[in-house]
Structure 1
Amino acid sequence: MSLFPMFSLPAAQSAGLPLYTDVAMDYDLGRPLWESGNPILVTGLEAVRSWAWRAIATARYRWPIFDWSYGCELEALVGQPYQAETKRSEAIRYIQEALTVSPYISAAAVSDLRFEGSRLHACVELTTVYGRGKIDV
């Protein structure tokens, strides 16, 4: 029984989590998708992919609006005198730590990680409660 019977709760998933809903992203342009002045919403695996992409793109601890568990610490690598392999392994660790805070993501495997000047490119394979998905960052 609900206090507000006119509102229904989202369908529960196998992990006991509500169906995840988020804003659809244009990954190439790095911005949310809009239609008629409203953000386009997606659910399930695509919603988790959208959240993951933004979590990696957001600097952890920089923005007071976000909880300290949200975001990625990749900026900590800028200007560090690490050797290439150390920088690479730290980048992988930062990405995995940023993503596995989500209860919807159980694992994140980073592959094809490379630095091109000051830019980082990586392919991330996500294992979620909705199955497997991939994002390119």
Structure 2
Amino acid sequence: MDLLDAARQVRENAHAPYSGFKVGAALRAESGRIFVGCNVENAAYPEGTCAEAGAIAAMVAGGETGLSEIVVVAAGEVPVSPCGGCRQKLAEFGTGDLRIIMATLDGKRRDTTLAALLPGAFGAADMGTA
């Protein structure tokens, strides 16, 4: 299964009773393993979880800490990009050249990198711990 198919499939499991906006994410760890996540909303807005964060949590729970690419799928006119918080989460486990693919259900697609979405990312080196 490819990442786009995995993201589309997991999107169907999203818990989005408040916004109705389902998002699915599938990432490939450096090992080649695929991990998925979907958004999970909560009545105590904004305490939900983004799809990208869910996929990252699954990756870490699976014993991996390095990303090589991620796909994010949502319905809409144009592909949606990861939110600011998820961009920072991606920066924790990926490099600036991390491939990010954003797609709609009807096939529109935008490919970019983490560096393009999060220039000047804050990381461990900024804390003097790298």
The two structures have a TM-score, normalised by structure 2, of 0.28
Larger RCO (CA within 8 A; separation ≥ 6): 2
